[in-house]
Amino acid sequence: MKKEYERRRYILEKAEKLKEKGLILKEISEIVGVSERTIKRWKKYKRELGIRGLKPLSRRPKRTVKARILTKEMIREIEDLRKENPYYGKVKVRELLLRKGYKIGLSSVGNGIKKLIESNRISKVSVLTCENERKRIRKFNGYSQRLPKGYSTQVQIDHMVLDIKGKEIRQFCAYSKDYKLSVYQVYEQARSQDAKDFLYEVIEEMPFKIKDIQVDGGSEFRLHFEQACKELNIPLFVLPPSSPDLNAGVERLNRICQEEHYLRHFNELSNKLDDLRIFVKQKQNDYNYFRLHRSLVINDRLFSPMEFFNLKRAICL
């Protein structure tokens, strides 16, 4: 504080000398490196209180709170309460401590719980929750395998549930990443046998040999479907949980079906399966042969999936 007092005194004396030489306050402020407002305030303090007015005011808070130290006894009490009530947080633990006569703040209880967790004397609530509600982790002991990181498959298959005039219908979709070609089919249920039947339909209608398939972890893509892939010698890859971004192509295709096919023609639709299958195949044909895609471009020209496939095949030949 003494150094600050001497600095202020020196600056005011220098400012007075510069003023006597005819400099204005703005120029003086730039020379001494202190704002005009501060110089005026210091002059006011000196005029009203004399030289002691230049002493800096204390910055100590008017009220200070004495830090409470967590004693070993308190730590033990917090540990015992958390072991008796493993799902209690700092608010409830503090309330129990107050009832026992301890004077302790909320932050201190939180710090105590944190230290006990770090020293492995108690467990986090999240750890306890995971132990009690642990999800079953899929083990790949059959033909399918987890999709390797960064690996790109040729065909994506998915299914969605549709409500057609009060009746639930399941639609399976297959999507080719390279050519945007698609195959649809509708079923009353989404069983692994239905997925197997759809797989044979995809193999028959896709104009190329399928080298691999990716699916999500749904039960419809196990058992009969997985066995069919094995018999056909088609590698089957399963996406990691909660990763729809890796299935983006077929997910987008599902949305196109909902918006451009079902919602657009909803009033004309029948909820009978045979009628829906005719409708679905018509829309599949429109999508593959006539719907232009902005991502299928050759020499600044847009093409439909089948046009693009035929051009690519012609170039390769």
CATH number where 196 lies: 3.30.420.10
Assigned domain for 66 exists:
no
Do residues 106 and 214 share a domain? no
pLDDT in the model for residue 49: 81
The predicted-structure confidence for 109-152, as pLDDT tens digits, reads as follows 999 999 998 888 888 876 555 554 445 567 788 899 999 988 99
Q: List Cα–Cα distances, 168 to 27, 101, 188, in angstroms.
A: 83, 62, 7
Assigned domain for 152 exists:
yes
Task: Name the CA radius of gyration of the chain, rounded.
Answer: 38
pLDDT in the model for residue 133: 47
Assigned domain for 169 exists:
yes
Do residues 108 and 165 share a domain? no
Do residues 296 and 154 share a domain? yes
Do residues 293 and 219 share a domain? yes
Assigned domain for 64 exists:
no
- Domain-ending residue, one of 92, 108, 132: 132
- Give the structural domain span for 161: 145-316
Do residues 163 and 200 share a domain? yes
- Measured N-to-C along each axis, helices 2-20 and 36-49 cross at an angle, to the nearest 10 degrees, of 100
Assigned domain for 156 exists:
yes
Mean pLDDT of 13-41: 87
- Neighbour count for residue 105 (Cβ, 10 Å): 13
- Domain-ending residue, one of 90, 107, 132: 132
Do residues 161 and 105 share a domain? no
The predicted-structure confidence for 268-301, as pLDDT tens digits, reads as follows 999 999 999 999 999 999 999 999 998 999 888 9
Reduced to 3 states, what is the DSSP secondary structure of residue 238? strand
Work out the percent of the chain whose per-residue pLDDT is above 70: 93
The number of folded domains in the chain is 3
- Domain-ending residue, one of 54, 80, 98: 54
User: Dihedral angle at the C-alpha atoms of 276, 277, 281, 283, nearest 10 degrees?
Assistant: 20
Do residues 32 and 172 share a domain? no
What's this model's pTM, rounded to 2 decimal places?
Answer: 0.59
Please list, in sequence order, all residues whose beta carbon lies within 8 angstroms of the beta carbon of residue 62, skipping any fewer than 6 positions away.
none
Do residues 89 and 207 share a domain? no
Assigned domain for 60 exists:
no
